[in-house]
Amino acid sequence: MAYLSIVALIPLAAVLFKSLDGGLDSFWTAISTPQAIAALCLTLIASVIVVLINAVTGTLIAWVLVRDEFRGKGFVNSLIDLPFALPTIVAGLTLLAFYGQDSPVGVNVAFTKVSVVLALLFVTLPFVVRAVQPVLLELDTEMEEAAESLGAGKFTVFRRIILPNLMPAIIAGGGLAFARAVGEFGSLVLITGNVPFDTQVASVFIFAQVESDNPIGAAAVSVVLLVVALVVLLFFGLLSKKALRHEE
């Protein structure tokens, strides 16, 4: 507990206190500057988009990895964890190599809002896949077969039988992905160009405030990010539990 306090809790408390150094008014002023609002909005919107895309692609990938058989599946399966293992700055450089100015296929999204979403998709790839996979493995095919024998089409089986069973896992994975996306920094530094009012996300904004010696502004936006991440984790946790209960 003491270790936890020294390493994590006391520093976080310091952020909270610093953000309130000048009273609530200056806290409010700090987070309502146009640049701070633009950065926070971009972060939240991009994160929502990323979670929605992940919910679809993550479920799809998990499905293919569990129900499909093909050569090299084991390799693909371990490839999923690569975004976790790869340092974030390398992740950014990696995407820049293919989707940047020197792109061999001429797709240049560097310094645009698309690049923000792209980088976040890369770093959050494993969350939904790894949450859905074990549930899909456990899922009995009997129910699906019963539904099919009763005349349900493939789509109906998926929508009425499989999806409700996977929902808690998709939501739980999505929550983790959202928390990660909101705070992401390393992979965005190189590819987004950090243009204020355009491609500057909240974490990069905080970094800029630290560099330009505005600790109160940095701390205030940090507190907003922290609260958003905690609320989302809590909310998605509850939602996932509710979906579980619904299933029973």
> Rule CB under 8 A: which of 24-53 touch other proteins?
none
* Alpha-carbon span 163 to 177, nearest angstrom: 19
- Considering the complex, state which of residue 80 and residue 239 has its C-beta at the smaller distance from other proteins: 80
> Tokens 């009012």 — which residue?
197
Closest CA to 182 of 127, 140, 240, 222: 222
Choosing from 36, 44, 83, 200, the residue that interacts with other proteins (CB under 8 A) is 83
Choosing from 117, 182, 200, 243, the residue that interacts with other proteins (CB under 8 A) is 182
Counting residues that bind other proteins (by CB under 8 A) gives 72
CB of 25 to other proteins, least distance (A): 20
Count CA atoms closer than 13 A to 178's CA, side-chain side: 26
The reply to whether 20 sits near other proteins by the rule CB under 8 A is no
Choosing from 66, 86, 143, 239, the residue that interacts with other proteins (CB under 8 A) is 86
- Sign of torsion, CA 150 155 158 159? negative
Q: List the interface residues with other proteins, window 88-127 (CB under 8 A).
A: 88-90, 93-95, 97-99, 104, 118, 121-122, 125
95 contacts 187 by C-beta, under 8 angstroms: yes
* Alpha-carbon span 65 to 59, nearest angstrom: 10
Q: Maximum distance among all alpha carbons in the chain?
A: 68
Choosing from 31, 50, 184, 199, the residue that interacts with other proteins (CB under 8 A) is 184
What binding mask, one character per residue, do residues 186-225 give for other proteins by CB under 8 A, x or -? Answer: x--xx-----------xxx-xx--x----x--xx--x--x
